[in-house]
Structure 1
Amino acid sequence: MRFSLASVLLSVAWLACAHSNSVTTYAPLPSTASGPPVNSEGFRVQSFGEGAYMLADGIYQSLFFVTPKSVIMIDAPPTTGENILAGIRSVTHLPISHLVYSHHHADHIGAAYLLANKDVTIIAHELTAYELSLTPDAHRPPPHVTFKDSYTLRVDNQTIQLDYKGPVHDPGNIFIYAPKQKVLMVIDIVFPGWVPFASLAEAQNPTMFIKAHDLILEYDFDYYIGGHVDRAGVRKDVLIQQDYIQDVYNNARTAILLSNSPPNATNPLSASTILGPIEAANPDNAWAMFAGYVDTLAQYCANVTTEKWLGKLGGADVYTYSHCEALVESLRIDYGVLGPFGVQPS
């Protein structure tokens, strides 16, 4: 018996409701957050021309290229599952010859085992191979071919450039570019029409996540595949998210600087105003004090940022707080904006 992704999500939502007396209601999504619907089987195939296709299930996206003799598959999300093959078969019955891993995370390549066989060559960055070796998983077979900086995959009439530019999301996350079709795929960085997933999309290195936007814009692309949500993106989507992230950065930085200023009627973020009540309620509990400090700054950042972006990007009221929290911490430890925890003038 087969279940569509929509039916699974509906069941999860029902279970959440059944175990909660109330469910948070968020702002309506802007129209730019929505893409074309999936078909009755739970997937959608979009052609970018000259043998390049996006395969989407409404939440996750993958990419494939058809040559005269075979198919090159990029990623294998488990939410798409068996529909990966169904999506390819809706275009061609040629066999899969290559499978490229964008990075090691299971939510993007956890269905690789459905495609892997002796005739499929798996390609990934060497750090992706290393990450996979730390948590061996039969659903994510190790790659046969790895590279360090760049790798050009040429199969018949298709050329795909694979570039590593640093840990923009996690170690081994690569830029996947098809110059003929001007398609760029970088997973878990830009979410067209939406704010990123929680905590800068779970980026291990916030500074590289921010830099990734500039790296993306160095490519000449007409279509951008971010790996998530409903639709493909264009250059404008990258620029919009870059502006949003810059606002989060600026507002988080302002919050830290305000916390290092004396308390007054217009500055509720002064460290003494924040920490005094927490210390009184939790004597000698340094973690309670610091958690309350970061939470207050992140909430200020989230309030200011959300006020501007609500209605412009989907989920602005869902995940902006988590991005603010991540950048308050990153500004402290990566950028050296320490506020009241830095060396104070005598």
Structure 2
Amino acid sequence: MTNDSELPDYAPVPSSALGPAVNEQGYFVGRVEKNLYWVTDSGYQAAFMTTRDGVVLFDAPPTIGHNLKRAIDEIASANGVSNKVTHIVYSHHHADHIGASSLFGRDVVRVGHAETKRLLQRANDPARPVPDVTFEQNHTLDIGGERVNLAWHGTNHTPDNIYIHLPDHDTLMLIDVVVPGWGSFAAFNVNADVPGSIAAPAEALSYDWKHFIGGHLGRLGTRDDVVLHQEYIADIAESARKTLATVDPMPFYAKYGNNIWAAVKAYLDTAAEHAAAPVVKKYTGVLAAADVFIVSTAFVILESLRLDQGVELPMHP
């Protein structure tokens, strides 16, 4: 059994990264703007909008689960509006963000990208019913006098991850790309397309919005949060470029001989740690957990530089 003294220590979390406390039932629900609300369990986030025709829910994380219904009921009761969920918008197909969709029954219109439907058909998961309404590039929902603009701008975190823009509520929802106030999750948020994920924040900033819903942890984001994320990732990429140019792989091959995988692993582990070190130093106290997943994120970005961009790949003479 592991005891506390054997566990690693990490830098303290800046208070700026923390969101509101959850209630006794384990959730917080708050107003974003007008009749748009967000729900969090401090690990995941969803949002919903009340309209004269019912409620539009944006994502349904299973960790929040039945607390989504409780949050909607709480707001609907306080404001004297309907608590009936008529639509669920899927940001993308991942179960950790829409795995509570089935809680809302069959009599709900589910909306998502065409690729989301294909991926969910493949998954065949009853917790994630396939979307009824799909689109390829752009789609506008007009529900109960409210407008929601949905757009796909190419692969980023997943092949189907979309931008959810609520222009009348000054809000953009883009899941698993930027975690406001925090460093990235493991392996650069487990992104399917590294260059696409690096480019996605600039696309997000091209929209007009004030509030940002990133899908994870305990608080909403701002435009400054997205800019800071861009700077953080750019610094990792620059450090990785320098590492590829300066860390010599030959000593690793000399040591491990014909065990090629051992040589490659030792070299890449060393390179990722080397690339991460200056970024950890710069962002500790600025971004929460800047020292936690940074090595795996540096590794993924370093490999993307090599494989997607051809940086420092030697040509045999």
TM, length-normalised to structure 1: 0.87
Does 2:285 align with 1:285?
A: no
Match of 1:34 in 2: 18
Match of 1:266 in 2: none
Match of 1:86 in 2: 70
| Aligned CA distance change for structure 1 residues 17 and 271 (closer, same or farther; 3 Å) | closer
Q: Is the partner of 2:75 in helix, strand or coil?
A: coil
More deviation, 21-30/80-89? 21-30
Contact 2:253–2:260 (Cα < 8 Å) also in 1? no
Letter in 2 for 1:271: P
Kindly state the Cα deviation for residue 46 of structure 1 after the two structures are TM-superposed: 1.4
Q: 2:272 aligns with which of 298, 301, 313?
A: 298
Rounded to whole Å, the distance in 1 between the matches of 2:307 and 2:301 is 10
Q: 2:286 aligns with which of 304, 312, 317?
A: 312
Q: Is the partner of 1:216 in helix, strand or coil?
A: helix
Match of 1:198 in 2: 186
Contact 1:163–1:175 (Cα < 8 Å) also in 2? yes
Q: 1:212 aligns with which of 168, 192, 200?
A: 200
Does 2:156 align with 1:168?
A: yes
Does 2:38 align with 1:64?
A: no
Kindly state the Cα deviation for residue 342 of structure 1 after the two structures are TM-superposed: 1.6
Does 2:92 align with 1:103?
A: yes
* Count of aligned pairs between the two proteins: 312
Divergent runs of 4+, >3 A: none
Contact 1:274–1:296 (Cα < 8 Å) also in 2? no
Letter in 2 for 1:108: H
Contact 1:275–1:292 (Cα < 8 Å) also in 2? no
Does 2:231 align with 1:243?
A: yes
Contact 2:18–2:219 (Cα < 8 Å) also in 1? yes
Q: Deviations over 1:210-266 (max 9, x none)?
A: 0001101101111000000110000000000100000000001110011xxxxxxxx
Match of 2:79 in 1: none
Between 1 and 2, higher relative CO (CA 8 Å, sep ≥ 6) is seen in 2
Q: Deviations over 1:34-61 (max 9, x none)?
A: 1111111111111122210011111100
Where does the alignment leave 5 or more consecutive residues of structure 2 unmatched? 77-81
Contact 1:185–1:224 (Cα < 8 Å) also in 2? yes
1:258-277 matches, cutoff 5 A: 258=246, 269-277=247-255
Contact 1:69–1:94 (Cα < 8 Å) also in 2? no
Does 2:90 align with 1:112?
A: no
TM, length-normalised to structure 2: 0.95
Structure exhibiting the larger radius of gyration computed from Cα positions: 1
Letter in 2 for 1:22: E
Letter in 1 for 2:26: G
Rounded to whole Å, the distance in 1 between the matches of 2:33 and 2:249 is 56
Contact 2:252–2:264 (Cα < 8 Å) also in 1? no
Kindly state the Cα deviation for residue 17 of structure 1 after the two structures are TM-superposed: 5.0
Root-mean-square deviation (Å): 1.4
